[in-house]
Amino acid sequence: MSATPVMACVALGANLGDAVATVQQALRDVAALPETQLFKASSLYRSAPYEAQGPDFINAVALIYTRLSPLALLHALQALEQQSGRERPFKNAPRTLDLDLIFYGDTELSTHELTLPHPRWHERAFVLQPLAEVWPEQVSAAQLAAVQDQAIQRMA
């Protein structure tokens, strides 16, 4: 565990079952992780599957402060996915819940289990749009322009 809390960014998504309720519950569950505090959560967004299949996704981004190490946080997020019934029958399969660790402070890491920052965060409107809402200085206009062809809509 880190002595000083680190700000981390988690992307949340779901497209099976009651995806809105699932993402809302996941935000509460992430906030309730040990040694973790929710700092900001974005609005919910509806997005078309990107390099994936199935119905539209419900997405959000959470900024948290945590004392968990990057791997401990990853494992805690994976446990929340399992609790929601997440299955991985094939790459980019529809999912009850997907929790991706996007940033962990300014940590750069590349292992078989975890790469930080997330290697494709800047290619995905479903990460960039909600991230721009809660951490605008992290997202450039050029990054947003590069994903403008990906269907995404902020929900009321």
Residue 36 domain flag: yes
Mark whether 98 is an active-site residue.
yes
Instruction: Residue 26: give the domain boundaries.
Output: 6-154
Would you say how long the chain is, in residues?
A: 156
Residue 89 domain flag: yes
Question: What pLDDT score was predicted for residue 45?
Answer: 98
Question: What pLDDT score was predicted for residue 1?
Answer: 56
Mark whether 88 is an active-site residue.
no
Q: What is the CATH number of the domain that holds 118?
A: 3.30.70.560
User: Residues 85-137: pLDDT tens digits?
Assistant: 656 555 555 567 889 999 999 999 999 999 999 999 999 999 999 999 999 99
Mark whether 124 is an active-site residue.
no
Q: Identify whether the C-beta of residue 139 lies closer than 8 Å to the C-beta of residue 131.
A: yes
User: Residues 20-59: pLDDT tens digits?
Assistant: 999 999 999 999 999 999 999 999 999 988 777 788 999 9
Residue 1 domain flag: no
Catalytic one among 98, 106, 149, 154? Answer: 98
The average confidence (pLDDT) of the chain is 91
Q: Identify whether the C-beta of residue 64 lies closer than 8 Å to the C-beta of residue 135.
A: no
Share of the chain above pLDDT 70, in %: 91
Residue bearing tokens 């750069």:
108
Catalytic one among 18, 95, 106, 154? Answer: 95
Three-state DSSP class for 51?
coil
Distance CA 101, CA 10 (A): 5
Domain count for the chain, please give it.
Answer: 1
Whole-model pTM?
0.91
